[in-house]
Amino acid sequence: ASTLGASAAEKGRYYGTAIAAGRMGDSTYMTIANREFNMITAENEMKMDATEPSQGRFTFTNGDRIVNWALSNGKRVRGHTLAWHAQQPGWMQSMSGSALRNALINHVTQVASYYRGKVYAWDVVNEAFADDGRGSRRDSNLQRTGNDWIEAAFRAARAADPGAKLCYNDYNTDGINAKSTAVYNMVRDFRSRGVPIDCVGFQAHLGTSLPSDFQANLQRFSDLGVEVQLTELDIQQGSNQANMYAQVTNACLAVARCTGITVWGVRDSDSWRTGANPLLFDASGNKKPAYTSVLNAL
Ligand code: XIL
């Protein structure tokens, strides 16, 4: 096929991108997004600060713009994200203890219920592990409510939208290391105790080299029976970018439960990684060598 989405679909996978509501008036951007991608993530518009700016008052206007555009154009949606230490509204940042735990569960319940039936997979919890080389939980106000905050969030999400796949999502978990092993152990524990988890998202914000055990890491999670997805892929531009994009694509295709890949933006000029030029289209919307490399690998 001649587009990323259609080619991925021939392999039983999806190929997605992140969309920013503020760019939806840009026709070059929207033309590429509509043509190439069949899974859509809101870059910021479904996060906690966007959806519950003051406690108990929910706003879905910008999330809806993205979700409705995606669904009306035959695309699926990854929900991002219900629980995260970052991009919390101010009122939540200053909360703690059981009041915060209750507010978290209410947030998960309200947002997942609002979007029930419209979301293919939710990143229920984002970035809950530290980068300390020991696989510790990240310290945060949410973590300080008790170590069971993650499973509580997953249970609330399942109750609110039983049809959505529920994912844990993180970065620096792309190779086999202390952090990814801690996530692996959590997922194995959740599966053994019946905590509802269906998928693991690997953000894959990559530099100029790929961990040698990238595919083996995806495989070990897949072997636990969960789907694996590359959820925020972008690769620093260097001599190796196109080749790395091909390797990442091939790794996903080689893992049975790797169901899809999402790149974190459309053009280099849309990327959150200023100056890295990490995406598949240049600032003018032209296909880069990395694009052709992905299309050929699919
Ligand atoms: C980033 C967005 O791309 C930026 O626009 C925003 O300013 C900060 O967040 N991990 C995640 C994403 O899970 O939500 C982040 O997105 C990038 C890192």
Active site residue 127: yes
Residue ranges of alpha helices (H) inside 115-165 are 149-160
- To the nearest whole percent, how much of the chain has pLDDT over 90? 100
Nearest residue by C-alpha to atom 3 in ligand 1? 272
Asked whether 71 and 77 are in contact (CB, 8 A), the reply is: yes
- The ipTM (two decimal places) reads 0.99
- Segment 8-54, tens digit of pLDDT: 999 999 999 999 999 999 999 999 999 999 999 999 999 999 999 99
Mean pLDDT of 122-129: 99
Cα-to-centroid distance, 192 and ligand 1 (Å): 32
Residues in contact with ligand 1 by the CB-under-6-Å rule are 43-44, 126, 203, 232, 272
Cα-to-centroid distance, 174 and ligand 1 (Å): 17
CA distance 288 to 36: 14
Confidence of residue 80 (pLDDT cuts 50, 70, 90): very high
Q: How far is CA 38 from the centre of its chain?
A: 15
Active site residue 232: yes
Mutate to test the pocket of ligand 1, among 17, 44, 46, 124 (most ligand atoms within 8 A of CB): 44
DSSP 238-278: STTHHHHHHHHHHHHHHSTTEEEEEES-SBGGG-SSTTT--
The pLDDT score that the predictor gives to residue 240 is 96
- Segment 248-278, tens digit of pLDDT: 999 999 999 999 999 999 999 999 999 999 9
CA distance 223 to 226: 7
CA distance 142 to 119: 24
CA distance 7 to 252: 14
- Segment 126-146, tens digit of pLDDT: 999 999 999 999 999 999 999
Residues 6+ apart with CB under 8 A from 59: 50, 51, 52, 53
Helix (H, G, I), strand (E, B), or coil: what is residue 81?
Answer: strand
CA distance 197 to 199: 6
